[in-house]
A and B are shown apart, each in its own frame.
Chain A
Amino acid sequence: MPRMSGDPEQARRLRSVPPDAATPPNADELLPRVARGDEAAFAALYDAVAGRVLGLARRVVRDPAQAEEVTQEVMVEVWRTAGRFDAGRGSASAWVLTMAHRRAVDRVRSEQAHTNRASRVSASETHVPYDEVVEDVTARLEREQVRRCLGRLTPVQREAVTLAYYGGHTYREVAEKLRTPLPTVKTRMRDGLIRMRDCLGIEMEGRA
Chain B
Amino acid sequence: MNADVHTLAGAYVLDAVDDLERAAFERHLAECEPCRVEVAELGETVSRLADDTVVEATPPGLRERTLAQAARTPQLRVSAAGATDRRHAGRWRQLTVAAAAAVLLAGGASAVTWTVSNDRISDEQASSDQARQIAAVLDAPDARVFERQLQPGGAATVVISRDRDRGVVLLRDLPTPGPGRIYELWLIRDAEPARSVGRLAEGVRGSTTVIGPVAQAGTFGVSNEPVGGSVAPTRIVGTVELS
Q: How far is the CA of A84 from the CA of B57 in the complex (A)?
A: 28
Asked if A56 and B45 make an inter-chain contact with CB atoms under 8 angstroms apart, the answer reads no
Partner of A55, one of B8, B45, B53, B73: B53
Q: Does A127 contact B (CB under 8 A)?
A: yes
Chain B residues contacting A202 (CB-CB under 8 Å) are 41, 44-45, 48
Q: Does A147 contact B (CB under 8 A)?
A: yes
Chain B residues contacting A47 (CB-CB under 8 Å) are 63
Asked if A133 and B82 make an inter-chain contact with CB atoms under 8 angstroms apart, the answer reads no
Known: A79-B75, A83-B81, A164-B14. A133 touches B55 (CB 8 A): yes
Most chain B CB within 10 A, of A89, A192, A196, A207, is at: A89
Asked if B51 and A146 make an inter-chain contact with CB atoms under 8 angstroms apart, the answer reads yes
Asked if B55 and A52 make an inter-chain contact with CB atoms under 8 angstroms apart, the answer reads yes
Closest Cβ neighbor of B13 among chain A residues: A193
Known: A37-B75, A193-B10. A55 touches B54 (CB 8 A): yes
Minimum C-beta distance from A66 to chain B (A): 13
Selecting from B64-72, B117-125, B157-165, B206-214, the interface stretch reads B64-72
Q: Is the interface of B mostly helix, strand, loop or mixed?
A: helix
Asked if A90 and B43 make an inter-chain contact with CB atoms under 8 angstroms apart, the answer reads yes
Asked if A142 and B51 make an inter-chain contact with CB atoms under 8 angstroms apart, the answer reads yes
Asked if A197 and B47 make an inter-chain contact with CB atoms under 8 angstroms apart, the answer reads no
Minimum C-beta distance from B238 to chain A (A): 11
Q: Does A82 contact B (CB under 8 A)?
A: yes
Asked if B43 and A186 make an inter-chain contact with CB atoms under 8 angstroms apart, the answer reads no
Minimum C-beta distance from A33 to chain B (A): 12
Chain A stretch 147-163: residues in CB contact (< 8 A) with chain B: 147, 150, 161
Asked if A76 and B62 make an inter-chain contact with CB atoms under 8 angstroms apart, the answer reads no
Selecting from A1-9, A98-106, A115-123, the interface stretch reads A98-106
Q: How far is the CA of A197 from the CA of B45 in the complex (A)?
A: 5
Chain B residues contacting A100 (CB-CB under 8 Å) are 50
Closest Cβ neighbor of A85 among chain B residues: B81
Q: Does A14 contact B (CB under 8 A)?
A: no
Chain A stretch 52-108: residues in CB contact (< 8 A) with chain B: 52, 54-56, 58-59, 67-68, 71-72, 75-76, 79-86, 88-91, 93-94, 97-98, 100-102, 105-106
Q: What are the 4 closest A-B residue pairs judged by CB atoms, nearest first?
A: A190-B10, A189-B10, A83-B78, A86-B81
* Residues of A bordering B, CB below 8 Å: 19, 35, 37, 39, 42-43, 46-47, 50-52, 54-56, 58-59, 67-68, 71-72, 75-76, 79-86, 88-91, 93-94, 97-98, 100-102, 105-106, 110, 127-128, 130, 132-135, 139, 142-143, 145-147, 150, 161, 164-166, 168-172, 174, 183, 185-194, 196-197, 200, 202-204, 207
Task: Please give 16 more A-B residue pairs, beta carbons under 8 A apart, in addition to A50-B63, A55-B50, A106-B151.
Answer: A19-B44, A35-B78, A71-B66, A72-B62, A75-B66, A83-B78, A110-B152, A127-B54, A132-B54, A133-B56, A143-B52, A170-B11, A174-B16, A189-B14, A190-B7, A202-B41
